Structure 1
C-alpha cells in the first residue's frame, strides 16, 4: 500500500509569497485533505496531531528553516518516538540551511510530483538523510520543548538581531542579507565600546554531559544537528571523543588572536596554539545545560531562558529526510 503523503504549506514564506498561490492550488488538487495550510502555532499543533492520529508516514514541509523547526517540534510532541514520520522539505523560506544540508533543493511540483510517484512505488525511503535535531527544554514542565537544527547565544544572538533589522530583512534576499549583516556588524565593531562589549561576551555556566559546571563569559556559543553549513563554513571540531549528537562550539570572552584566526576557526581548522589557550572549545555531546540571561536563537527564533535562567539542550531522535 502506498505511503500517505501530507504537505504543510506556509503561504508567508518568502518564495511562496511570490507564487501567487499557484502551487498551493496544484498541491491541493493532488493531495486533497492532506494539503494543510494551518494558521499560527496552535493551528499547526492541531494539524500535526491529526496527522499522528491517522499515522501519516511522510510529511512534506513547504517553507524555510523556521517553518521546518515548528513542524519538527510539533511532530516530536505528537507522534510516538518509535513511529516518527519521514520529512521532506521544499525550500521556500528566507533561510533554508536545513533543506540544503539534507539534500532538498527542488520546489513546487518539480519536487512534489516525484515524491508522490516514489510513494506510489514504495521507494521513498531509498534516498534519505538522517539527522538528530537539537531539543531545547526548560525546567518548567508546562513549557513545551522546542526542536530545531541550529542554535546559538552571545555574539550569535547579537548578529541575528542585526539581521532581523527591517532595514536589512525587508530589503535583501537571504544571501545578500547575510552580507549586509556582516558589513553592518563590522561597522559597529569598529566602535570601541561595541567591540569591548561583544568580545567580553555574556556570562554563562555550561554543564556538558553532567560534568562540572563551567562558569565564564562566552563570546560565542553554537550548537547544531546539521552536517554542513553554507559557503564552506563549519566552525566545529573534536577536542575529545564524541559522546552524543549535539555538535557544539564554545568560545570564551576576549578570545586570544581572534582577528587573525577567524577564518581558520570558521572552517574548523583550529591550530595547536589556539587549542592550548583553552578559549576555543568544540566537540559532540548528548546533553548541555546553560545558565544565562541571554536569549537563545533557534533557527532564527529567539527563545527566553526559564525563570531559573536555564536552557537544557539534548540530542533528539534520528529523523529521516527524503531528498528531493
Structure 2
C-alpha cells in the first residue's frame, strides 16, 4: 500500500520548473505513487487507478483548475467508496488559497516532505473537514462543479484582468498581483476606464436563503468554505453569522468601503465588526444573478444571468490534511 498518492498536472504553469524536482523526490521515496495527467479530463481515470493502491493521503500538484477538477471527481466519482483519503494540496498555483488554508505555504517539495512525514503517523490530529461549494445554474440536470473559493463581481473582473493582461507579461506572481492591485485602485479611485485597467463590475443581485438579498455593484464578492481569507484574516465562526457552511463577503464599489475592508483584514478583524458597505453572511444556499456577470470557482469561469442564476450549496464534509502544527 502506498502511503501517499500524488496527482500531478505537468501542464500547469508552476510545474514547468517544479516537476523535475517532484519526479526526483518521488523516485527516492518508494512509498509515493506518482500519477501524471496531461489534461483535466484524464483525472477520472487517474483517481480510478490511484484508488487501487489505497493511499493514506491524496496530494494534488497543479493549478487551481487541476485542484477544482480533482475535487469534483473525487466527490462525485465514488472511486474510494465511503472513505476517501484526506486531500493535501501543494502550493503550486497562482493564488494557492486552498494550500495556504491547509498550512502548505512555501516550497512545494518541503510541503510534500511534510505530507510524507505525516503519512507515516496515524494523521488523526492533522485531519480536518471542509465542505465544498457545489455550483449549478439552478437546474437539476448535469453534475455540479465543486470548489472551495468563488470570486464574483469586481473580484472576478480583476482576476480575469490579471489572467489575460498581466500574467502574459511573464512577471513573477507577486509583482503581477501588485500591478493588478494598483490598476484596480486607479480604476476605483479615479473612475478611469480603458483596456489597460479592469472593467467596472456589472450590477448583481445576491440572495442568501433565509437571510435576504443584496443588489448593486460590488468591488468584491467572495464565497468560500476556507477558514483563512485574504491578508491572513479569518471568517467569524458559524454561530456568529447564522451557522451556514457557505461564507459570503461583499464590498460595495466604493473607495471607502474597500479601505474599511482592507484595514479590517490587516488588523485581523474582518467580519468581527459591522462596517458600512461591507457585508458578511453565512448560509446554506446562495444565488447570484446578473447581466452576464462573471464568477470564478477555483479558476474556472462561469456566468450569472437574470434567467440563469448561479446557485451555490455546500456538500457534505470532505477530509483534508492540514500540514501546519
Normalising by structure 1, report the TM-score: 0.80
**1:207 to partner: Cα distance:** 2.5
Counterpart of 1:246 in structure 2 is: 246
> Does structure 2 retain, via aligned residues, the 8 Å contact 1:65–1:97?
no
**1:98 to partner: Cα distance:** 1.2
Distance 2:102 2:273 in 1: 32
Distance 2:313 2:247 in 1: 11
> Does structure 2 retain, via aligned residues, the 8 Å contact 1:203–1:215?
no
Distance 1:270 1:107 in 2: 31
The answer on 1:178 being equivalent to 2:177 is yes
> Does structure 2 retain, via aligned residues, the 8 Å contact 1:201–1:217?
no
How many matched pairs? 316
| RMSD value, Cα | 3.6
Structure 2 unaligned regions, length at least 5: none
Please show how residues 119-134 of structure 1 align to structure 2 within 5 Å: 119=119, 121-134=120-133
Normalising by structure 2, report the TM-score: 0.80
Q: In 2 relative to 1, CA 229–81 (structure 1 residues): closer, same or farther, beyond 3 Å?
A: farther
Structure 1 unaligned regions, length at least 5: none
Please show how residues 66-85 of structure 1 align to structure 2 within 5 Å: 66-79=65-78, 82-85=82-85
What SS does structure 2 have at the residue aligned with 1:135? strand
Counterpart of 1:89 in structure 2 is: 89
**1:149 to partner: Cα distance:** 1.9
Counterpart of 1:207 in structure 2 is: 207
Counterpart of 1:16 in structure 2 is: 15
Q: What are the Cα deviations for residues 244-296 of structure 1, in whole angstroms up to 9, with x where unaligned?
A: 111111334x5584365353354555797845xxx432121111122222121
**1:126 to partner: Cα distance:** 3.1
Please show how residues 94-243 of structure 1 align to structure 2 within 5 Å: 94-105=94-105, 107=107, 110-116=110-116, 118-119=118-119, 121-189=120-188, 191-192=190-191, 194=193, 201-210=201-210, 214=213, 216-219=215-218, 220-233=220-233, 241-243=241-243
Distance 1:117 1:298 in 2: 31
Distance 2:283 2:315 in 1: 12
Counterpart of 2:43 in structure 1 is: 44
**1:86 to partner: Cα distance:** 0.3
**1:151 to partner: Cα distance:** 1.0
Q: What are the Cα deviations for residues 155-203 of structure 1, in whole angstroms up to 9, with x where unaligned?
A: 11111122113444542222221111012223334553549xx998533
**1:75 to partner: Cα distance:** 0.8
